[in-house]
Amino acid sequence: MAKRDYYEVLGLSKGASAEEIKKAYRKKAKELHPDRNKDNPQAEDQFKEANEAYDCLKDAEKKAAYDRFGHAAFEGGMGGGRRPGAGGQGDFASAFSDVFDDLFGDFMGGRQPGGRQRATRGSDLRYNLRVTLEESYQGLQKTIKVPTAVQCNVCHGTGAEGGAEPVTCPTCSGMGKVRAQQGFFTVERTCPTCSGLGQIIKNPCSACGGQGRVERERQLSVNIPAGVETGTRIRLGGEGEAGMRGGPSGDLYIFIEVAKHDIFEREGTNLFCRVPVSMTSAALGGDIEVPTIDGGRSRVKIPEGSQAGRQMRLRGKGMPALRGGGHGDMFIELAVETPVNLTHRQKELLREFEELSAENNPESEGFFKSVKNFWDSMKG
């Protein structure tokens, strides 16, 4: 039986480009795979026919010979080549391997021109930094110590003794991956010899053991801007872990935590300060002096008859916005304090005051009036 034209097998016109040939083969391989056509006894033969066609047309020299002489190019010794279909399953493994590389090569790390692997980038590092509220208000320069991996000074990051260049891994030929054939499929895994780098070092550096980097504690001066709050993240590019064998360094991320303050409570750019005042001061009014986050003092007037929980605002006395935009406000909350450990005389005076001020407590009067109405309605 005469063999079908390879272009016809793949559904192509003569002169199709390499990309068109690869695309057509992918489509045919999916359509005709025996595992997907168990009820079609001809599927396996058609599948092998498509593999044979692709094995020929994917090769530029074979394709040129086939375009000129047809199937005769590979019969009777013409062209000096072997028959494309010879070897059956082995040829499919080779053909499918190329498609596998095209589909998944970049996703799985890919390979570089000439089979050399790209140097491995260093890991990013995280450093947790705790600052006070005053430091957050003012901003600061802080020196931190970061344990990390830095480039080896002996081999200058190459990992080889004397700075010699790494050589191509003999196991994977520089691909960083090795393949094992399982039936119609080719399984790819990381090369165990070079750990996926594609290169090995014959004489590892004695200082770093061939890693190209060593563990060391680094000191860094970090600029903490005014206005940072808990959760703020500062990125220092290239200050992370050094890359393997001369690869680029990772980044250092500093995560800020602002410590709890004894006087102020923060909400965004606003500050809250709870100030205790005596019962007398709340009733008669007066002035009090309160601290501000910048270390200063502000006088606040307490209105006569102030109740517990009353708030007063000091504009612009809060925290600075992280990226500019002024300052927040500071809120003073009054905490009316009930006196304790009273003397006998003080108690007598308070009882006398209570009798004289029965009509001076509007909130109490309104509350108990509502309670009386509630009880009366329940009786009804």
pLDDT of residue 232: 94
Read off the DSSP letter of residue 358: G
Q: Which amino acids are annotated as binding site for Zn(2+), given as ranges?
A: 152, 155, 169, 172, 191, 194, 205, 208
pLDDT of residue 102: 46
The per-residue DSSP string of 150-211 comes to EE-TTTTTS-BGGGPPPEE-TTTTTSSEEEEEETTEEEEEE-TTTTTSSEE-SSB-TTTTTS
CB-based burial, 25-48: b 16+ in 10 Å, e otherwise? beebbeebbbeeeeeeeebeebbb
CATH class of 118-159+207-260: mainly beta
Closest CA to 96 of 44, 154, 30: 30
List, edge to edge, every strand of the sheet that includes 264-267. 264-267, 270-278, 330-337, 311-314
Same fold, 118-159+207-260 and 264-337: yes
Q: What is the mean pLDDT of residues 153-170?
A: 78
Q: Say if CB 227 and CB 204 are below 8 A apart.
A: no
Q: Which amino acids are annotated as binding site, given as ranges?
A: 152, 155, 169, 172, 191, 194, 205, 208
**For the chain, domain boundaries:** 6-104, 118-159+207-260, 264-337, 344-379
Q: How many CB atoms lie within 10 A of CB 197?
A: 24
Q: Which sign, positive or negative, has the C-alpha torsion 223, 227, 230, 233?
A: negative
pLDDT, tens digit, for every residue of 271-328? 999 999 999 899 899 999 999 999 999 999 999 989 999 999 999 999 999 887 799 9
141: three-class secondary structure by DSSP? strand
Q: CATH for 6-104?
A: 1.10.287.110
In the chain the first and final C-alpha atoms are separated, in Å, by 108
* CATH for the 264-337 domain, from 1.20.1250.20, 3.40.630.30, 2.60.260.20, 3.40.190.290: 2.60.260.20
In this structure, what token pair is assigned to residue 24? 């057509």
Place of tokens 């903490």: 224
pLDDT surpasses 60 at 107: no
